[in-house]
Structure 1
Amino acid sequence: MTPRPATLLDVARAAGVSKSTASDALQGSGRVADGTRDRVREAAARLGYRPNSAARRLRRASTGAVGLHLPRTATRLDYYMKLAFGAAARAQEAGYDVVLLAPGTTDRIASRVDGLLVIDPELDDPAVPALLAAGVPVVTGERYLGPASAPTGAVVIDNAASLTALLDHVRERGARHPALLAPADTSAWAAALRATAADWSRAHATPVAVRTVSFAATPDEAERATLALLLEAPSVDAVVCAPDGAAPGVVRAASALGRSVGDDLLVAACVDGPTARATTPALTAVDLHPDAYGHACADLLCAVLTGHTPADTVRTHAWTLEVRASTHGRG
């Protein structure tokens, strides 16, 4: 006999809470303690509970879906795929499907979804203003720098702190002439990196050579930029590469010029991932925990949709610095 599907009451009993508390915990609504919320979600996962999306949509007169918009330059599949999976997992807990929005799908978007997740919004992305004005709650992953309507909420990473940590780290490992490969400041992330490099330069009386590369720079582009940089300024002894997955190009450029990565040239990345870990030597990098980031963005949107989290809520997402052989230094 096929076992019956787990119900919300089953989850509540397994977690030792009331049915209404279990519902609030799974939807991200109400005043539920973090420990209780985690216990309810663990019980739901263990029992294989799936919310009755159809019934919930009827009660809310909703579409039962949220839209996910990624930047047009989202060519690094690992980072954004993990982020999307994290968002989908959290939305599913609350009974929502996640719809990945293709370019040109902003028309009538408000009639198709209950809310929107807009990740890494860029100033030159024409879809973003329309999404912000779609008439449904919008949560952005990172702030939007444009003049369009403000999002309902945002989940942000302290990118200034992460780059400061990288620059402090290479300085502690002996670097005195660092450089940064970063995109133009058309996104909050890139703008924060550039501003932080300038602030750090002033604070340490140590100029940071900044070179512009594209948001989705490839290793080949990073290699060309690094070759030009090191030929122009051979005293550079550390290169921090911002775009996800591009830092191996820095390593190739160093090798072509006879520089030893991890010794007379320290190399680090602003975004960790499989490429950074697999490069020889392995690259020091900032782990942005993209799956947890996507989960956090969807969690805020779910809380907004239930009406228990006010507009203009901004939450922060944690990062960690992963130190590896590429910044070993000379002692």
Structure 2
Amino acid sequence: MPARRVTIRDVARAAGVSTTTVSAALTGNGRVSPETRDRIMRVAEECGYVASAAARSLRLGRSGAIGLYVPDRTVGFEYYAHLSRGAAEAALAHGFALTLLPAWPDAAPLRTLHLDGLIVCDPALGDPVAEVLRSLPVPMVTCERDPEPGASPAGVVASDHVAGTTVLLDHLAGQGAASIAALVPGEETSFGQETRRACRESDHDVRMVEVPLAYDPDDIARALAEARADEPDAIMVVPDGGALVALHLLQAEGVRVPEDLLLASYVDALSLQVARPTVTAVDIDPRATGASAVNALVDLVVGEVSGPVLTSVPTHLRVRESTSPA
């Protein structure tokens, strides 16, 4: 049989004090001398006492839960799996549960959820679920800037995608690419807006071909064919995992990477590190993004800061075989 859970009454009995005194010592509330508090904390640790999360949340007037909304169009992409993992780890470290919010057809039930705060990944223009979440009376932190006019989240965690894209384009040009084709998403998200801006403002010859952020293989095939019509020296694929699809399509046609064509991805992934050839990419650290979003939100929930909280996640270019011709 499992061991019985140690209660506050057990700690009070072992310490020779009342349960009220134990509660005051463990929560830091009430008048308890430092000596008594230290003794109770020591006894509680010796007894193996673990505070009830439900009771603590009730006492503080909080649910102890954080909502994470990942838009349905992005489910299955490696970036969001790592972001969710980083968020879950950080939430647990703070004593909060992480609740995944689906892209529910009827967004109204989301209003009935008991959450202390929200994290919204890649908020997009016209998303009805995000519209409901913005109206909830709890602090919201977004992973990437919210492009909706008038949106004012309490916190934003983002990378400088203009700078990251520019570094990758400079690398391709430095490797001898006189013309570059960029497969980029639309401007419904700030991620798409920033990567497109970098391409427009680049000092190099960059031609953009639009591909959905949440693509299917046919989308990549169509965009790749359109891009190759101009015979570029290099192709940069922005959406997560799209470069791997492009690599397989090119190899099926007998195109050698990097000998015949340089290939790079804006979003890094484990699959790109084990591909043959390995694919150059920009690491935008989704795990750190998820953890940073939770840390910012917890600070807002517990009143450490009042907002707005702005957190920048650095990007790093990972040069690999796909852009390194012999």
TM-score normalised per structure 1: 0.79
What corresponds to 1:88 in structure 2? 88
Deviation at 1:240, TM superposition (A): 0.5
How far the C-alpha of 1:188 sits from its partner, in A, is 0.4
Does the CA contact (< 8 Å) of 2:107 and 2:132 recur in 1? Answer: no
Alignment of 1:26-65 (within 5 A): 52-65=52-65
CA contact 1:286–1:322 (8 Å) conserved in 2 = yes
How much has 1:281 moved relative to structure 2?
A: 0.8
Over 3 Å counting, the alpha-carbon distance change for 1:153 and 1:212 in structure 2 is: same
Alignment CA distance shift 1:227-1:252 (3 Å): farther
Q: Residues 283 and 108 of structure 1: is their aligned pair in 2 closer, same or farther, counting only changes over 3 Å? A: closer
Match of 2:235 among 235, 239, 243: 239
For 2:136 and 2:181, the matched residues in 1 are separated by: 41
CA distance in 1, matches of 2:108, 2:122: 17
Aligned partner letter, 2:208: V
Cα separation, 2, equivalents of 1:49 and 1:180? 57
Question: What is the aligned counterpart of 1:251 among 222, 247, 250?
Answer: 247
1:317 aligned onto 2:313: yes
Alignment partner, residue 76 of structure 1:
76
Hey, what's the Cα distance between the residues in 2 that align with 1:321 and 1:293? 17
Letter of the 1:161 partner, please give it: A
The answer to whether the 8 A contact 1:219-1:248 is kept is no
Kindly provide the CA deviation profile for residues 12-59 of structure 1, in whole angstroms up to 9, marking residues without a partner as x.
xxxxxxxxxxx9xxxxxxxxxxxxxxxxxxxxxxxx997642232022
After TM superposition, list the pairs within 5 Å mapping 1:132-281 onto structure 2: 132-200=134-202, 204=203, 206-230=204-228, 232-234=229-231, 236-281=232-277
d(CA) in 2 for partners of 1:110 and 1:273?
Answer: 36
CA contact (8 A) 2:265 2:280 kept: yes
Q: 1:66 and 2:66 equivalent?
A: yes
- Separation in 2 of the partners of 1:100 and 1:4? 29
Q: For the aligned residues, what is the CA RMSD?
A: 2.6
- Runs of 4+ in structure 1 off by over 6 angstroms are 1-5, 48-51
Alignment of 1:125-136 (within 5 A): 125-136=127-138
Q: Following the alignment from structure 2 to structure 1, what is the Cα–Cα distance between the partners of residues 212 and 142?
A: 21
Structure number with bigger Rg: 2
Distance 1:81 1:50 in 2: 31
Could you tell me whether the CA contact under 8 Å between 2:77 and 2:240 is conserved in 1? no
Unaligned runs of at least 5 residues, structure 1: 6-22, 24-47
The secondary structure found in structure 2 opposite 1:179 is strand
Cα distance, 1:224 vs structure 2 = 2.7
Q: Distance in 2 between matches of 1:87 and 1:226?
A: 34
Amino acid at match of 2:126: D
Post-superposition shift, 1:278? 2.6
Q: Distance in 2 between matches of 1:142 and 1:166?
A: 20
Deviation (angstroms), 1:257: 4.6
Q: 1:65 to 1:215 in 2, by over 3 A?
A: same
For residues 313 and 110 of structure 1, do their structure 2 counterparts lie closer, same or farther at Cα, with a shift above 3 Å needed? farther
Cα drift, residue 287 of structure 1: 1.5
Report if the CA contact (8 A) 1:76-1:244 is conserved. Answer: no
Are the aligned partners of 2:110 and 2:132 in contact in 1 as well (CA < 8 Å)? no
> Which amino acid is the alignment partner of residue 226 of structure 1?
L
Matched residue SS, 2:118: strand
Alpha-carbon distance, 1:89 to partner: 1.2
Whichever residue aligns with residue 223 of structure 1, its letter is A
Q: TM-score with structure 2 length normalisation?
A: 0.81
- 1:114 aligned residue (107, 113, 116): 116
Assess if the C-alpha contact under 8 Å between 1:254 and 1:265 holds in 2. no
